């Protein structure tokens, strides 16, 4: 790697799998301790819950699972990245924004896990795979989507790239929309709630109340928010909680986030999370170094 400009991208919900973090726990005693501490904070055995197919995809479980895993990767590589790159820009997809704030040291691990737990719990009030659904749409080539089609139970949740959008909403309404609008390939996502839509406004309000006493620290590194592309470095730390609350029911502007990051000269992009997801949204002709940090092997090979 070079000592130039780095962008770190943090994966969000849907990237979880049962064995994530096990290799780190087997290698490092402090990782075992982190899972033990996490289990005490959460009130259940985190690693065992990951292996339970009835729990791993539920919002209130999957969000802490992914955050804890990502925090381990962050703590394994943060010092190295600071030493080897002159400028670092951060962005996280949905839940990944919390991982980005953890990388920037706005909260310590236990504080951020409490915030993530509150987020998952707040969002779980509308978490029901029998009632809600999310689909990624791989758009047909050059198709321009008419966004006036959405509403009345069907919402745009993520604008991931020029070719992919994510929709969500009431299952019956979304399935009807899918049949009536052959926009491309519809891929059902491994989540249980209509994230980043008006259906999450109540969750956002509950979350805001839960974290009202959380004292975020001001960060001194560029971190582009999903909500309106606001840079956390440019706002007061007293506004961080509000920004995270708004993010819950606002569309993830990921395509524009990437364009904002790439407006600077970026030499290397690294994705941190359980699976490589966000690198797939980058322009195919983008000539930068790309890495995914999802395992010990990934980190050791750098």
Look at residues 269, 259, 189 and name the one whose alpha carbon lies nearest to residue 229: 259
Token representation of residue 256: 């524009």
pTM: 0.94
The CA-to-CA distance between both ends of the chain, in Å, stands at: 7
- All structural domains of the chain, each given as residue ranges with its CATH number in brackets, are 5-126+197-300 (3.40.366.10), 132-188 (3.30.70)
pLDDT along the chain (302 residues), means of 10: 82 90 95 98 97 91 96 96 95 98 98 98 89 91 78 92 93 94 90 90 97 98 96 98 97 95 94 95 92 88 71
Environment class of 192 (CB within 10 Å of its CB; exposed 0-12, middle 13-18, buried 19+) = buried
pLDDT at 130: 87
Q: Are 250 and 201 in contact (CB under 8 A)?
A: no
Geometric angle at alpha carbon 116, from 130 and 215, rounded to 5°: 145
Token representation of residue 188: 């059902």
pLDDT at 177: 94
243-291: pLDDT as tens digits: 999 999 999 999 999 999 999 889 999 999 999 999 999 988 899 999 9
Look at residues 92, 67, 101 and name the one whose alpha carbon lies nearest to residue 233: 101
pLDDT at 148: 82
> What gap in Å lies between CA 151 and CA 168, rounded to an integer?
10
């Amino acid at each position: 790697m070079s000592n130039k400009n780095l962008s770190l991208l943090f994966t969000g919900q849907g990237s979880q799998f049962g064995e994530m973090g096990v290799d780190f726990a087997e290698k490092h005693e402090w990782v075992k301790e982190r899972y033990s501490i996490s289990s005490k904070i959460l009130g259940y055995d985190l690693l065992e819950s990951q292996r339970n197919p009835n729990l791993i995809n539920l919002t209130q479980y999957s969000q802490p699972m992914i955050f804890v895993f990502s925090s381990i990767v962050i703590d394994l590589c943060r010092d190295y990245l600071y030493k080897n790159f002159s400028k670092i820009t951060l962005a996280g997809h949905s839940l990944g924004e919390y991982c980005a704030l953890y990388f920037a040291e706005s909260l310590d691990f236990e504080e951020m896990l409490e915030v993530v737990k509150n987020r998952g719990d707040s969002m779980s009030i509308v978490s029901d795979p029998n009632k809600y659904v999310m689909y990624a749409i791989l758009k047909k080539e050059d198709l321009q989507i008419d966004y006036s089609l959405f509403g009345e139970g069907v919402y745009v949740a993520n604008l991931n790239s020029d070719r992919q959008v994510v929709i969500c909403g009431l299952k019956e309404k979304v399935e009807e929309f899918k049949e009536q609008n052959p926009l491309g390939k519809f891929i059902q996502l491994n989540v249980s709630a209509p994230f980043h839509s008006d259906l999450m406004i109540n969750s956002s309000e509950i979350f805001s109340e839960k974290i009202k006493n959380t004292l975020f620290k001001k960060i001194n590194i560029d971190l582009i928010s999903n909500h309106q592309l606001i840079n956390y470095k440019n706002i007061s730390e007293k506004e961080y909680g509000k920004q995270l609350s708004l993010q819950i029911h606002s569309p993830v502007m990921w395509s524009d986030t990437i364009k904002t990051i790439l407006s600077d000269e970026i030499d290397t992009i690294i994705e941190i999370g359980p699976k490589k997801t966000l690198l797939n949204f980058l322009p195919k002709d983008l000539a930068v170094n790309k890495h995914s940090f999802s395992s010990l092997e990934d980190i050791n090979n750098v």
